[in-house]
């Protein structure tokens, strides 16, 4: 945490929330190591923090990072089961849209594992900083499901072919490969410090008001595309994918810690 004398004390719970840099930087820290699972409680805490603080005229940026060795293992697999997946997806996608509509830049600092729903949350930010040996991926296809938000966010960030590679294979990449394909903006052994330095060097001295116009201008087209596509892929996931044998089998096999029995239907 910054030693700035203007920092407020972080709140407790699954998410630590505080302001620093004369209240111009909002800090959001996932605080349930080591997994930092993006479940209903974490999603609610993130959404509430954005609701509470984004109206401040002084605010110039948000920095999202995480306690422990890993950014996030991803979403709760139990909440992906048929009886819970609709509520889970809708709340996660609402948070993604809330982040896409954020009027100031969101900086994300990634260490260790950043997978599944955890990477989707990171991708909804603007500038990503990560450790060289971080592990980023969307492994959902290995459970016979797909990542709705990442299906919309990744092509906008890294292009269609690179996005398809990650989404179809479910493979993970390290920070250096993520930098090479444009998934992250900077690789650093201390990504939180790198993100804070970016704020200090590039965002802290300017007009918060004008920065908001810059964010709105550059994000207008991609955000509109992502919102439209997200509604379509959410329906595809809930109405078609979850009606298949293999999607339910893949999730159940993971929860039950056994090999899946694919029937290819």
Helix axes 208-235, 85-100, angle to 10 degrees: 150
Fold of the domain spanning 1-191+207-265: 2-enoyl-CoA Hydratase; Chain A, domain 1 (3.90.226)
Q: Tokens 């650093």 — which residue? A: 188
pLDDT of residue 5: 38
pLDDT of residue 77: 87
Going residue by residue through the chain (265 aa), what tens digit of pLDDT does each one get? 333 435 676 776 899 999 999 999 999 999 999 999 999 999 999 999 999 999 999 999 999 999 999 999 999 988 888 888 999 999 999 999 999 999 999 999 999 999 999 999 999 999 999 999 999 999 999 999 999 999 999 999 999 999 999 999 999 999 999 999 999 999 999 999 999 999 999 999 999 999 999 999 999 999 999 999 999 999 999 999 999 999 999 999 999 999 999 999 9
Q: Distance between CA 236 and CA 265 in Å, rounded?
A: 15
Query: Is the Cα torsion angle 199, 204, 209, 214 positive or negative in sign?
Result: negative
pLDDT of residue 239: 96
Alpha helices in 114-207 (DSSP H): 117-123, 148-158, 160-169, 175-180, 191-198
Q: Where are the domains of the chain?
A: 1-191+207-265
42 alpha-carbon distance from chain centroid: 12
């Amino acid at each position: 945490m910054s030693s700035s004398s203007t920092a407020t004390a972080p709140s407790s719970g699954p998410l630590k929330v505080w302001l620093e840099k004369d209240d111009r930087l909002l800090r959001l820290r996932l605080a349930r190591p080591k997994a930092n699972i993006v479940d209903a409680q974490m999603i609610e805490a993130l959404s509430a923090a954005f609701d509470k603080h984004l109206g401040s005229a002084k605010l110039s940026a948000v920095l999202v990072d995480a306690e422990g060795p890993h950014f996030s293992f991803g979403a709760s697999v139990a909440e992906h089961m048929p009886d819970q997946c609709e509520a889970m997806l809708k709340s996660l996608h609402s948070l993604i849209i809330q982040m896409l509509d954020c009027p100031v830049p969101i900086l994300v600092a990634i260490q260790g594992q950043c997978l599944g729903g955890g990477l989707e949350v990171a991708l909804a930010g603007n500038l990503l900083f990560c450790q060289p040996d971080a592990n980023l991926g969307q492994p959902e296809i290995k459970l016979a499901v797909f990542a709705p938000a990442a299906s919309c966010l990744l092509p906008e960030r890294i292009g269609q072919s690179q996005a398809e590679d990650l989404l179809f294979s479910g493979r993970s990449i390290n920070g250096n490969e993520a930098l090479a394909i444009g998934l992250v903006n900077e690789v650093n052994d201390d990504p939180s410090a790198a993100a804070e330095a970016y704020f200090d060097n590039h965002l802290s001295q300017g007009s918060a008001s004008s920065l908001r116009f810059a964010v709105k201008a550059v994000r207008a087209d991609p955000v509109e595309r992502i919102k439209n596509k997200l509604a379509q892929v959410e329906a595809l996931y809930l109405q078609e994918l979850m009606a298949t044998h293999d999607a339910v089998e893949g999730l159940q096999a993971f929860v039950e810690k056994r090999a899946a029995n694919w029937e290819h239907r």
